């Protein structure tokens, strides 16, 4: 920490942590209760868990009668004792509520710790950004932000603890082996040098040549605002770091290059949606490398609407945290895309570093997140098609961006899946489930219907584009 601000930051941090906890506690407490429009046709309700094994009790709702002054079942079945004493003069469902106990379940604990993780991360990011804003004011850089299309969003979506990837000495296996100890890298988050010409430029993404039937993405030119270089970064991480405006400081840097890329991408995305949104509507923004920014209008649904469209076989390690959790972002469905882009940029950097001999982090699941969020993003698209059909049918930027970003993500996954630094049996199982699992067939059919069979074969199966038929030469 800068010595000029060290003592000030320490005192301010302590005060703000207390204020932030007091201020955020009501939000945290309310996150378990989603708005009434979370009931999704054809899928489970994303809200409070059912009371016991069934919402009903004795043929009527477990709360149709009042017991102990509050209904037993209209709220979570821990709000009143159900079974120990009768509900409305008779036992609820013949005894215990729904035929089972009404105490704390494993789902309750999972939800509690998921919300706790998100809450802590939001507090940390809030404090970081307040300190940065104060520094900006003192240094004359100004502060604040604006969003031309919706709510002001200063804090980028929080990543999971550890920045999105797990770093261990040896990869865990499906058989339940215990990961080894964390292997710290030799790279320091600082140490960058200002140079006239950054070494190397990131390679351009190859176009998707399959039949996407969606047209081209509308990019916004978003040039680099810095000119930094570090011998341990490589061209991809250099590109990402130099597109984060200097006013954000170094808060997103990390010992892990992929985490550095992931978290910095969140910072850039936040800047894009706050400053480059000219749509007049609430929108989100994404940085996809090579001076390219994308702005997408938010569809009219909630993030949690995607949950029922994720089959059980595709509910990976990040599903609980990002799809079931992160309730503060439930009114921002393209938050899923924000993570999709961040995990993809992190994966591309990880693969680039490994191939250049710069990777010093040991084993990580560095490309799994890009694959996992590809499935979650198409689940969101399925929800959009059902809940906001006009948006899905008449806003081509959405489907065009999905085609472009899916290729980036799946190319990153394939490039790293067999490298020793990133091999992981769980991601191979996930990949098989995606391309051939019985419960994921509706997702595959949806992709082929809306993006084409050629797109599926090229992007998801890794097949070379079919050669175009040539007309015979005239003699």
Q: What is the pLDDT along the chain (475 residues), one digit of tens a residue?
A: 444 444 445 545 555 555 555 444 433 333 333 333 333 333 333 333 333 333 333 333 333 333 333 433 343 333 333 333 333 333 344 433 444 444 676 666 666 765 676 567 556 656 655 665 565 445 443 333 333 343 333 344 444 433 444 444 444 444 333 333 333 333 334 444 434 333 445 555 544 443 444 469 999 999 999 999 999 999 999 999 999 999 999 999 999 999 999 999 999 999 999 999 999 999 999 999 999 999 999 999 999 999 999 999 999 999 999 999 999 999 999 999 999 999 999 999 999 999 999 999 999 999 999 999 999 999 999 999 999 999 999 999 999 999 999 999 999 999 999 999 999 999 999 999 999 999 999 999 999 999 999 999 999 999 988 643 444 444 4
φ and ψ at residue 16, rounded to 5 degrees = -70, -35
Q: So what's the pLDDT on residue 27?
A: 35
* DSSP SS3 for 224: coil
Give me the residues paired with residue 297 across strands: 283
Q: Do the beta carbons of residue 153 and residue 270 sit within 8 Å?
A: yes
Q: So what's the pLDDT on residue 459?
A: 97
Tokens coding 84: 């120990």
- For 375-385, give one letter per residue: b (16+ CB within 10 A) or e: bbbbbbbbbbb
DSSP strand E in 153-240: where?
167-168, 193-194, 220-221, 228-229
CA distance 64 to 77: 13
CA distance 452 to 208: 12
CA distance 353 to 416: 11
CA distance 440 to 446: 10
- Distances in Å between the Cα of 431 and the Cα atoms of 217, 370, 419 are 26, 11, 16
Task: For the full predicted model, state whether its pTM sits above 0.75.
Answer: no
φ and ψ at residue 57, rounded to 5 degrees = -145, 115
Q: So what's the pLDDT on residue 120?
A: 72
- β-strand 292-297 against 283-287: which pairing, if any? antiparallel
Q: So what's the pLDDT on residue 18?
A: 52
Q: Do the beta carbons of residue 279 and residue 148 sit within 8 Å?
A: yes
Q: How many CB atoms lie within 10 A of CB 221?
A: 7
Scanning 93-154, the segments in alpha helix (DSSP H) are 106-139
Q: Do the beta carbons of residue 403 and residue 377 sit within 8 Å?
A: no
């Amino acid at each position: 920490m800068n010595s000029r601000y060290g003592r000030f930051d320490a005192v301010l941090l302590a005060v703000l942590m207390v204020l932030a906890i007091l201020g955020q506690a009501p939000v945290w407490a309310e996150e378990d209760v989603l708005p009434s429009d979370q009931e999704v046709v054809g899928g489970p309700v994303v809200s409070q868990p059912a009371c016991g094994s069934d919402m009903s009790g004795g043929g009527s709702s477990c709360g149709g009668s009042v017991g102990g002054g509050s209904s037993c079942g209209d709220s979570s079945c821990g709000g009143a004792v159900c079974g120990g004493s009768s509900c409305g003069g008779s036992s609820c469902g013949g005894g215990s509520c729904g035929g089972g106990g009404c105490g704390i379940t494993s789902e309750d604990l999972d939800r509690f710790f998921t919300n706790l993780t998100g809450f802590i991360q939001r507090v940390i990011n809030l404090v970081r950004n307040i300190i940065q804003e104060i520094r900006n004011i003192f240094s004359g850089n100004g502060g604040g932000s604006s969003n031309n299309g919706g709510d002001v969003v200063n804090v980028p979506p929080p990543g999971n603890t550890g920045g999105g990837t797990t770093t261990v000495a040896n990869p865990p296996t499906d058989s339940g082996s215990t990961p080894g100890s964390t292997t710290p890298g030799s790279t320091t988050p600082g140490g960058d040098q200002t140079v006239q010409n950054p070494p190397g430029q990131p390679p351009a993404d190859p176009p998707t040549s399959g039949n996407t039937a969606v047209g081209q993405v509308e990019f916004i030119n978003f040039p680099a605002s810095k000119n930094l270089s570090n011998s341990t970064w490589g061209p991809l991480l250099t590109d990402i770091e130099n597109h984060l405006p200097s006013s954000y400081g170094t808060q997103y840097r990390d010992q892990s290059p992929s985490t550095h890329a992931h978290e910095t991408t969140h910072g850039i995305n936040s800047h894009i949606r706050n400053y480059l949104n000219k749509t007049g509507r609430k929108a989100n923004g994404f940085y996809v490398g090579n001076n390219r920014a994308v702005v997408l209008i938010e569809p009219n649904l909630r993030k949690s609407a995607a949950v029922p469209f994720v089959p059980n076989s595709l509910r990976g390690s990040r599903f609980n945290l990002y799809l079931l959790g992160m309730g503060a972002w439930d009114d921002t469905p393209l938050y899923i895309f924000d993570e999709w882009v961040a995990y993809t940029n992190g994966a591309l950097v990880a693969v680039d570093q490994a191939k250049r001999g710069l990777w010093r982090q040991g084993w990580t699941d560095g490309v799994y997140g890009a694959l996992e969020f590809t499935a979650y993003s198409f689940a969101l698209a399925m929800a959009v098609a059902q809940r906001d059909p006009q948006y899905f049918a008449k806003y081509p930027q959405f489907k065009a961006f999905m085609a472009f970003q899916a290729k980036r993500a799946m190319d990153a996954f394939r490039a790293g899946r067999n490298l020793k630094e990133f091999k992981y049996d769980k991601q191979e199982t996930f990949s098989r489930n995606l391309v051939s699992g019985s419960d994921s067939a509706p997702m595959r059919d949806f992709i082929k219907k809306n993006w084409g069979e050629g797109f599926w074969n090229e992007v998801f199966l890794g097949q070379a584009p079919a050669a175009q038929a040539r007309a015979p030469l005239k003699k």
